Structure 1
Amino acid sequence: MVYDEDELLMLSGIQHYCFCKRQWALIHVEKQWQENVKTIEGKHIHEKVNDPYLVETRGDITIARSVPLTSYELGLYGIADVVEFSRVEKKGVLLKGKTGFWHPIPVEYKRGKPKSDERDEVQLCAQAICLEEMLHVSIEKGYLYYHQIRKRVEIELNSGLRETVKKMASDMHKVYKTGITPKGKVGKHCKLCSMENICKPKVGNKKLKVKDYVQKGVADK
């Protein structure tokens, strides 16, 4: 399926969707947002990285920042923190003001450390799929740089990860079209979520009869 321009969803949302479908819907369907220390720290880190006017060349590597991304196949659009273009002999892309061929590799910056789930990996892979579609190249790997451990981790963009990204992107569009926010699943991850106070997953999942609701309201007065 190929999506139209007005159907595109924010690429960064795929990380939210992987972490919690309800969190994603609260942010991207209901347009709600709440800051916490982690989100503020994350913004600060990205502000230092995302300078679209800064392009560096270090030997055979050219570094571009805040690179616009679009995939009509996934129906996603967004910004890559960094794309590193390495000089290659063939099967690369041409860069304005540069000679020869260059191969792109996305680098995504994160405030914390590697996580137990794939939320960072799916975001990175979605960025790579966008670049492949835009530049007509194949990208086999990308990097996640974690600020807490001051280290970049190489991620293999294998077929399994790609299928996960495609499935998630498709599901995001289906949920978005319904406009219905999924119910939350209470777990340890809720304490990590900046949307916990808005989400109130325990309240939302309780099945309260009208009679009980009225009685409770009278008792509270």
Structure 2
Amino acid sequence: LVITRDMRVFSRTLGVSGACDVLEFRRGETGIPLKGREGLWQPYPVEYKRGKPKEGTEDTLQLCGQAMCLEEMLCCEIPCGALYYHEPRRRTEVDFTPELRQEVRALLEEMHALYARGSTPKVKPTKGCNACSLKGLCLPKLMRSKSVSAYLRGAMEGEQ
């Protein structure tokens, strides 16, 4: 087993970049060669999460997106990965099905379309916002009361 942490990933095809918390390379019959190592090594992404498993699919989609980036970067197939949740302290294996991959592609296409239109979707704050790493950028409480354009207009005019 070879372990890499905080590996930067990107996909020109998907138009996205990010980082894998942990990328394990497991020796096997399929995979890629690693410099200085014998045989083939199958990449296996592991995403670490602080709390409990969520009801939504956001963690699964994130992990699948990372795998899709890795597949493009490493020219290999990655059939599965794992989510590790801190509270139950265990891994949940995720199969990267064709349906899951299509959902990732569809969401990224929607994201790029919103960006191209200059449209910022209204945030729907949830209790998960407090633990989100993007809370400082997203500002869910601020967006509850004003649109982005109204906030920016007010900020430029010196309103508080």
Q: Into which bin does the TM-score normalised by the smaller protein fall? A: 0.7 to 0.9
User: Which of 136, 142, 148 is 1:198 aligned to?
Assistant: 142
Query: C-alpha displacement at 1:184, in angstroms?
Result: 4.1
Distance 1:148 1:155 in 2: 18
Higher relative contact order (CA 8 A, sep 6+): 1
3-state secondary structure, aligned to 1:107? strand
Matches within 5 A, 1:52-201: 61-89=1-29, 91-185=30-124, 190-194=126-130, 195-200=139-144
Structure 2 residue identity aligned to 1:198: L
Question: With structure 2 as the length reference, what TM-score do the two structures score?
Answer: 0.80
Number of residues of Structure 1 aligned to a counterpart in Structure 2: 139
Query: C-alpha displacement at 1:197, in angstroms?
Result: 1.8
Kindly indicate whether the alpha-carbon contact (under 8 Å) linking 1:67 and 1:80 is maintained by their aligned counterparts in 2.
Answer: yes
Any unmatched runs of 5+ in structure 1? 1-60, 206-221
Query: C-alpha displacement at 1:125, in angstroms?
Result: 0.1
Distance 2:92 2:32 in 1: 25
Q: 1:134 to 1:197 in 2, by over 3 A?
A: same
Kindly indicate whether the alpha-carbon contact (under 8 Å) linking 2:123 and 2:140 is maintained by their aligned counterparts in 1.
Answer: no
Q: Post-superposition, which runs of at least 4 consecutive aligned residues in structure 1 deviate over 2 A?
A: 189-192
Query: C-alpha displacement at 1:177, in angstroms?
Result: 1.7
Larger radius of gyration: 1
- More strand by percentage: 2
Q: Deviations over 1:66-96 (max 9, x none)?
A: 112111111111111111111113x321112
3-state secondary structure, aligned to 1:77? strand
Query: C-alpha displacement at 1:190, in angstroms?
Result: 2.5
Query: C-alpha displacement at 1:204, in angstroms?
Result: 4.2
Any unmatched runs of 5+ in structure 2? 131-138, 148-160
Paired-residue identity, %: 45
3-state secondary structure, aligned to 1:87? strand
Question: With structure 1 as the length reference, what TM-score do the two structures score?
Answer: 0.59
Query: C-alpha displacement at 1:156, in angstroms?
Result: 1.0
